Structure 1
Amino acid sequence: MKNAAYKADRNQSQLVAVDMQTKLSRVMSSDIDGVIKNCAILLQSAALLEIPTIFTEQYPKGLGLTVPELSPYLAGKKAVEKTAFSCCAEPAFNRQLLGDHTQVILVGMEAHICVLQTALDLLAQGKTVFVLEDAVISRNPENKRNALNRMREAGVIISNIESLVFEWLGVAEGDAFKKISQLVR
C-alpha cells in the first residue's frame, strides 16, 4: 500500500458536495439530519483550511436548491447545475476541478447514483477519491451500503469526516485546529 496516497493532504484536496438539495433531502433515509450536519462541519473545515470547494445541484428546477443549512458555508460560490448523474459529465464541473489537486473528497446524495458515478469517473481521470461514509446518503440504506462496497472495491478510499479533517490538519495546534475541534464535538 502506498501510504501517502491513502492519507488526505489539504494541499492536494478539493471538496465536492454533490446534490445536497431540499426536495431530494425530504425523501432520504432517517439519517439525513446527521449527513447535513456532517457536510456543514466539512464545509466549515474546508473554508478554515482554504480547501477549494465545488457544489452541484441535480436539476434544481425539479429537486430544489441546496439545503439552507449549508448555504452559509457556500456563500460566494455558484452551484454547478447538472442533469447527468456523474458530475464529470458536466463541462462546468470539469472546469472547476483543479488539475494540481490530485485528491477529491466527495459527500452528498445519492450515494448509489450521483456520488458513485462521479467517484468512478474521477478514478478514471487518475484522481485519488475519498468518499465520507457519514456524509453520504441514499433513500434506501441498502443502496448506500452497496455503493460504498462498490466504490471501495474500485479503489475509492472510504473514510469519515473526523478522520479526514484531522488528516487535513496534521497537527494539534493553531487556530484552525481549535475551531475544527469545536466543530466535531
Structure 2
Amino acid sequence: MSEIKKKYWLEASQAALLVVDVQDKLVGAMDQQLYQQLLQNVPLLIAGFKALGLPMIATEQYSKGLGHTIAELQSATEQCCIEKLTFSCCGDDGFADALKKTQARQIVVVGMETHVCVLQTVIDLLDQGYGVHLVRDAVSSRFAGDYANAIALAAAAGAVITTTETALFQLVKVAGNDDFKAISKLVRQRTQ
C-alpha cells in the first residue's frame, strides 16, 4: 500500500472510534451550530461502527463537575468509557490500556472541545504513531474561531481531516455487500 493510501484511507481492520467528552454540562457552552452538527453526526458514526463491529472508546472529562456523556450517545459508552482528568486522552493510563486492547492503528476522533481535549489527543495520538482521522463535522467548540484554528492545527500536525460520510464509506469500500447496505441505510437517514 502506498504512503498516500496508508495515511488517507481508513481500513476497517485497523480502525477504532474515539468519542471525546461529549458531556451534559458542556453542551450549553458550545457554539450551537457546531454542536447541532456534532449531535447529528456522532450518533451516525457510532451506529456505523456498531454495524461494522468495530471498537469504540468514549471519554469523560472530570464527570463530577461536567456530567456524563449525553443521553443521545450513551451507546458509545456501553463498550468502554474512560473517566479522565488530563485534557489529552493519552495522558490517562486507563485510556492507553483501552486503546491498546482495540489493536487499532487508525483512530477516528470526534467530540469536544475541538481546541482543547480533542486537539491535544490528536497530537498525542499522532506522536505515538497512530493514523488519526479527525471528523470535522462531528467536533465542537464554544467558539467557531477556536474550532477553525484547531482543525488547521490538527491538519498541520498530520491528522487527516475528514467528514462523517467520507469516513463511513471508506470503511466499507465497495457497494453491494451487507456492510455497504447497513451504512447506506444509516446515511440515508441523515438530514443534512
2:44 to 38, 41, 44: 41
Q: Tell me which of 81, 85, 91 is aligned to 2:83.
A: 81
Q: How many residues align?
A: 184
Cα distance in 2 for partners of 1:25, 1:177 equals: 32
> Would you say 1:128 and 2:131 are equivalent positions?
yes
Q: Quote the Cα distance in structure 2 between the aligned partners of 1:119 and 1:166.
A: 22
2:72 aligned counterpart, secondary structure: coil
- Provide the aligned C-alpha RMSD in A: 1.3
Q: Between the two proteins, what is the percent identity of the paired residues?
A: 39
* Preserved contact between residue 57 and residue 77 of structure 2 (Cα < 8 Å): no
- Using the TM superposition, name which of 171-180 and 103-112 deviates more: 171-180
1:106 corresponds to 2:95: no
Q: Deviations over 1:116-161 (max 9, x none)?
A: 0000000110011110000001000110000000010110000001
Aligned to 1:19: 21
Q: CA deviation at 1:65?
A: 0.6
1:45 partner letter: G
Instruction: Give, in angstroms, the shift of residue 5 of structure 1.
Output: 2.1
Q: Secondary structure at the match of 2:53?
A: coil
Say which of 44, 58, 62 aligns to 1:59: 62
Which residue matches 1:68? 71
For 1:75 and 1:84, the matched residues in 2 are separated by 19
Match for residue 181 of structure 1 among 169, 181, 184: 184
- Post-superposition Cα deviations, 1:77-119, rounded to whole Å, max 9, x if no partner, equal 2420011100000000000113742101100000000000000
Residue equivalent to 1:5 = 7
SS class of match (1:147)? helix
Alignment of 1:92-171 (within 5 A): 92-98=94-100, 100-171=103-174
Distance of 1:153 and 1:5 partners within structure 2: 14
CA pair 75-29 structure 1, distance change in 2 beyond 3 A:
closer
* Alignment partners' CA distance in 2, 1:81 and 1:91: 10
Q: Are the equivalent residues in 1 in contact too, given 2:7–2:160 (CA < 8 A)?
A: no
Deviation, structure 1 residue 75: 5.8
Deviations 1:41-100 (A, max 9, x none): 0000001111110000001111111010111x2363242001110000000000011374
Name the SS of the counterpart of 2:133 in structure 1. strand
How far residue 183 of structure 1 moved from its aligned partner, in angstroms, is: 1.6
- Matching residue's letter, 1:74: A
Query: Take 1:53 and 1:123, find their aligned partners in 2: how far apart are those partners?
Result: 18
